[in-house]
Amino acid sequence: MTLSERDNRLEYMVSNKVSIVSVCSAINTTPARTEAEVRMDAISPIVWGALLLIPSALIVMAAAAGPGTIMHEAVQLAFRPFCHQAPDRLLTLFGNTLVVCARCTGFYAGIGTVGVIAAIAAKAGMRWHVPKAAFILIAPMAIDGAANLLGIWTTCELLRAATGLAAAVAVAAALLEARNETIRE
């Protein structure tokens, strides 16, 4: 298509109130992004990484503070709706018990780790696509959790933490993929 043909087509589309998407595709460009959108793209991975790291940071800070402290009690109360906090399933750190069970510890550690890695990768300009098969990583946690609940078997804390970690990788990756999809639109 010559330049004058493209200009004529563009003029026709504008005069007939054709959508901006059609106009942009006709001239083979994308709509200009505002400065705020560009700036948000740069900040957003860091914000997402920090948000995904907060639960892990709170758990570690509560363990460092120790039982009986305001920090420990507040974090334990905050996580109570999300974790059974059974005393026989709690891990220790700094000589103190954590405020969440082994499986939740693995889960929050996985969420935080993926958040940090994603923030670093996004800052380096890398984008990723999470395959739908990633959700298979949730299966070990679901199977092990159900088997423990039904009394079929009992697993050690390390295995519980590992299944939580695997599930977290799938969930965090899906959250970050959804964030990427939002940015693409």
d(CA 64, CA 16): 66
Prediction pTM value? 0.72
Do 55 and 99 fall into the same domain?
A: yes
Query: What is the reported pLDDT for 107?
Result: 96
C-alpha R_g of the chain: 24
Answer yes or no: do 24 and 101 share one domain.
Answer: no
Same domain, 44 and 27: no
Stretches in the chain below the pLDDT threshold 50: 21, 23, 26
In this structure, are 77 and 129 located in the same domain? yes
Please state, in angstroms and as integers, the Cα–Cα distance from residue 155 to each residue in 79, 136, 165, following that order.
22, 20, 15
User: Same domain for 105 and 22?
Assistant: no
The reply to whether 26 and 43 lie within a common domain is no
Share of residues in the chain with pLDDT > 70 (%): 72
* 103 and 119 fall within a common domain: yes
Which pLDDT belongs to residue 159? 96
pLDDT at site 141: 94
- Residue 76 CB partners (closer than 8 Å, separation 6+): 62, 85, 99
Angle 159-165-168 from CA coordinates, rounded to 5°? 145
Q: Is residue 136 domain-shared with residue 46, that is, in the same domain?
A: yes
Domain of 6 in residue numbering reads as: 1-32
Please tell me the predicted confidence (pLDDT) of residue 96.
94
Q: Answer whether 105's CB lies under 8 Å from 128's CB.
A: no
Q: Which amino acid is at 136?
A: I
What pLDDT, on a 0 to 100 scale, did the predictor assign at position 23?
47
Q: Do residues 16 and 62 share a domain?
A: no
Q: Total domain count for the chain?
A: 2
Helix (H, G, I), strand (E, B) or coil at 96: strand
Residues 28, 84: one domain?
A: no
The model's pLDDT over 24-57, given as tens digits with 9 standing for 90+, comes to: 554 555 556 677 666 666 667 778 788 889 999 9
- Residues 66, 142, single domain; the answer is yes
